Amino acid sequence: MQLILMGPPAAGKGTHAAELVKKFNIPQISTGDMFRAAVKEGTELGKKAAECMKSGALVPDEVTVGIVKERLAKPDCSNGFILDGFPRTVEQADALEKILSDSGKKLDKVLNIHVPAEDLIERAVGRRICKTCGATYHVKFNPSKKDSVCDNCGGELYQRADDNADTMKNRLSVYEASTRPLIEYYKKLGKYTEIDGRQPIGKVTEDLVKVLSSVKN
Ligand code: AP5
Ligand code: MG
Ligand code: ZN
């Protein structure tokens, strides 16, 4: 099953991708996570990405398309994948169509988690992530049992550098200008389904699974 999980910053893509990974046993490919890992390792890619991420701008298309192309060629993607946070521009979407058609694959579904702009800053600012296992929490909507400690592994929780109100405003305007046009793009391809992301986390996952149960493997 070849999927794209779309949605504005902090809509819940990562949270729900993690559930879909468990349910369908296909990998999550998050370009944001890949860039953060590269920044942490201090690689050339990390140096290129760090500046853009800090301000909430997009990493250049050729860089982003390059890492996704490489990732999709890995054997664990042979039964499918969940793209989280890619594509974010029409150029990236066109490049993805080409990568897939060159390898005889096609997209099955594009799921958009719809959350209104006014909710997104609160979601981002309250997000906490486990340093060890990457689990995502929210101080109000999905708190860990013990403050700053991961329920899964006991790791320490941290806040992402771009999860502040100022950077978030920029991320949201970048989304409006560059990524929102992809809704029309995928509607035209007949692959688009919208999910109401304002519902509780468990209900959003349930709606996603319901849509995907109609997709043939
Ligand atoms: P990336 O890491 O992808 O950031 P993003 O798109 O802004 O999305 P987030 O990861 O912030 O949010 P999410 O939708 O995953 O939400 P989550 O599940 O965590 O990208 C970061 C940067 O990398 C970009 O700004 C750019 O610079 C660069 N980049 C990445 N991809 C790129 C690309 N393709 N091209 C160019 N540059 C790229 O949830 C958020 C919070 O809400 C959590 O606390 C969660 O617990 C909570 N929550 C989730 N669901 C619910 C719910 N239903 N109700 C209440 N709370 C909820
Ligand atoms: Mg994410
Ligand atoms: Zn953890």
Are 144 and 150 spatial neighbours (Cβ–Cβ below 8 Å)? yes
Mutate to test the pocket of ligand 1, among 35, 174, 195 (most ligand atoms within 8 A of CB): 35
Q: Which atom of ligand 1 is nearest to the CA of 201?
A: 53
* H helices present in the chain, as ranges: 13-24, 31-41, 44-55, 61-72, 90-102, 117-125, 165-174, 181-188, 201-212
44, pLDDT greater than 90? yes
* pLDDT computed for residue 214 by the predictor: 85
Average pLDDT over residues 91-97: 98
88 is catalytic: yes
Looking only at the bridges linking them, the beta strands covering 109-114 and 2-6 are parallel
**Pocket around ligand 1 at a 6 A CB cut-off:** 7, 9-15, 30-32, 35, 52-53, 56-59, 64, 85-86, 88, 92, 123-124, 126-127, 136-138, 141-142, 171, 197, 199-201, 204
123 is catalytic: no
Identity of the residue numbered 205: T
Are 27 and 21 spatial neighbours (Cβ–Cβ below 8 Å)? yes
Which residues touch 26 (CB under 8 Å, ≥6 apart)? 1, 3, 20, 77, 79, 80, 81, 82
* Ligand index nearest the alpha carbon of residue 31: 1
Q: What is the mean pLDDT of the chain?
A: 96
171 is catalytic: yes
Closest CA to 112 of 203, 187, 188, 215: 187
Chain segment 208-217, per-residue pLDDT in tens:
999 999 886 5
2 in helix, strand or coil? strand
* pLDDT computed for residue 216 by the predictor: 65
